[in-house]
Structure 1
Amino acid sequence: MTSLLAAPPAAPTPTAPALDARFAALREIAARAGAAAAAAFRSRPRGTFTLKGPQDYLTEADAAVEALIRHEIATRFPGDAILGEEGGGAVGAVTWVIDPIDGTANFARGVAHFCVSIAVALEGRAEMAAIVQPISGETWLARRGRGATLNGRPLAVRKGAQPEQAILELGWSGRLATSGYLRALACLLSAGVSVRRAGSGALALAHVADGRSDGYGEPLMHSWDCLAGLLLVSEAGGQVGPWPAGLADLAAPGRVLAAASPAIETLLDQALAESADERHP
């Protein structure tokens, strides 16, 4: 279970060269983590997996890849805070927000649709991001105010997307009642949308940024699942919801919305309102 620990001693706000150094490190660390995740995927025991709870998968690779990422960050930037899905952590002036394997259920079942997701936040606001899909060899990068890329190619969302021509992904949390998901799904389908659910929220957001999808919504996500992807969408010219808005939001789940156009943003907002945070008793 993820828990918050005390942050390391506060470091001064990074200078421009210090941010450049972190971005260079982010690229290197994400690449190494992706290589480790790919090796673990190819060598995993077939048909063997562990469940932490209903539909909540756990693999040894999650912990191993997160440990690799944490070691690299702590060695290079000992004053930075680290918040991760598996090991919890802290938030601070500079926080690395990491999901070692987003799409663990896919990974465990042998489906090559998963990724490593890492964001660096300043005072709770995403400043840079990397998402690596190691099996396809794709790396998405973003830096606030400098755009987003896929394997070096500049990205732009599919501007002007309309619901009747759109492909959207709708994520869900096992902590919420299924009835809310069905209402949100009905709202999207009635607007003529083609709806998908592929099992990796981080990749879903990356696909909005690169135009493969037109939007993604989920009523309850943690920052490690979405912070990198939200920056990608924003830097590719898309619309993103107001969460997370600061340090406190990094440690608590919230509603995620990303859209290629205002029309899709409005529709996703309506669909997520239909789900209305109806939780299991």
Structure 2
Amino acid sequence: MTVAIERRFEAARAVVDDAARLALSMRPPPGGPVGTLKSAQDWLTEADGAVEAFISRRMAALFPDDGFQGEEEGATRSGSLRWVVDPIDGTSNFARGRNRWCVSLGLLEDDHPVAGIVCAPALGETYTGLIGKGAFLNGKPIKASPVNDTRSAMIEMGWSNRVPKPIFMEKIGAILDSGAMPRSGGSGALALTDVACGRLDAYIEIVINLWDVAGALPILAESGAKVSPFLRDGGLTGGATILAVAPGIADALAKAVQIPLI
């Protein structure tokens, strides 16, 4: 890990903290959803654009030669080091004044994830990961779950309107047949960090985007979790499948849901 990347990581942590406070200040009160539907169950709020623009400006000022890609505006700058942001992951929760959402920022070096920060301000939690330096939740080291039997596992599966219902039901059926307990929380980034810290034993999503996972990938790598080859299988340029899973059930679950691991 180079000094330049470590310096960026430390600076980015402060930027994400500020961005998370901005997002929290813009969260609607509890109630019906506040925002605009991009497609079925895919919400856009004023905070999405404001938080992304805030992070983009700050990172450009700090590291003008770095690339930048956001969920809302796409790739606006290029570079061998590239920041990838999801300004509000879990927007459907955010739009209803719920707590399970986060600001996610990842750093890629030549398309390889090297650092990530996932901050859930309404939960008071920040996950961080730097390749070779460990994974942390609020500054304390985390590791993937020690579970080694799917019959005692808790597994989350994300839903997307881009996935045909039969495929979704097939994977849910495989999870149930394995004896695991299914869950769904509405934030892919937080589900992935839950795998990294052992709150979940696996997370599956059939179609998910780079900005949803970029911040979590280094955290997962440093936690000891096993992860499917999301980037290799198209995640750099479009939606792809991800499976993140505790090592003790990795082979059994990958076989059950027919998603190969690296």
Q: TM-score range by the shorter chain?
A: over 0.9
- TM-fit CA distance, 1:128: 0.3
* 1:82 and 2:77 correspond: no
Distance 1:97 1:244, change over 3 A: same
Note the 1:81-120 alignment, pairs <5 A: 81-89=67-75, 90-120=77-107
Distance 1:272 1:51, change over 3 A: farther
> Structure 2-normalised TM-score?
0.93
Q: Partners of 2:46 and 2:150 in 1: how far apart? A: 40
8 Å Cα contact 1:125-1:245 kept in structure 2: no
For 1:228, what is the secondary structure of its paired residue? coil
* 1:256 and 2:242 correspond: yes
| Unaligned stretches of 5+ residues in structure 2 | none
Q: Which residue is 1:162 aligned to? A: 149
Q: Render the CA deviation track for 1:128-175: whole Å, top value 9, x for unaligned.
A: 000000011100000001110001100111124320000011112211
8 Å Cα contact 1:57-1:105 kept in structure 2: yes
- TM-fit CA distance, 1:45: 8.8
1:176 to 156, 163, 178: 163
Q: Which residue is 1:212 aligned to? A: 199
8 Å Cα contact 2:207-2:241 kept in structure 1: yes
- TM-fit CA distance, 1:21: 1.4
8 Å Cα contact 2:29-2:97 kept in structure 1: no
* 1:55 and 2:65 correspond: no
- TM-fit CA distance, 1:198: 0.7
Q: Which residue is 1:233 aligned to? A: 220
Q: Partners of 2:26 and 2:179 in 1: how far apart? A: 40
> Structure 1-normalised TM-score?
0.87
8 Å Cα contact 1:218-1:272 kept in structure 2: no
- TM-fit CA distance, 1:85: 0.4
Q: Partners of 1:78 and 1:44 in 2: how far apart? A: 39
Q: Which residue is 1:29 aligned to? A: 15
| Unaligned stretches of 5+ residues in structure 1 | 1-14, 274-281
8 Å Cα contact 1:130-1:228 kept in structure 2: yes
For 1:158, what is the secondary structure of its paired residue? coil
Distance 1:45 1:65, change over 3 A: farther
8 Å Cα contact 2:106-2:215 kept in structure 1: yes
For 1:202, what is the secondary structure of its paired residue? helix
Q: Render the CA deviation track for 1:96-137: whole Å, top value 9, x for unaligned.
A: 010000000111122211000100000001000000000111
For 1:109, what is the secondary structure of its paired residue? coil
2:115 to 121, 124, 128: 128
Q: Render the CA deviation track for 1:213-267: whole Å, top value 9, x for unaligned.
A: 0011111111110122122111011111112149x74232211110112423541
- TM-fit CA distance, 1:56: 1.3
Divergent runs of 4+, >4 A:
42-47
- TM-fit CA distance, 1:42: 5.2
Task: Note the aligned Cα RMSD (angstroms).
Answer: 2.1
Q: Partners of 2:71 and 2:111 in 1: how far apart? A: 16
- Report the AA paired with residue 145 of structure 1: G
- TM-fit CA distance, 1:53: 1.6
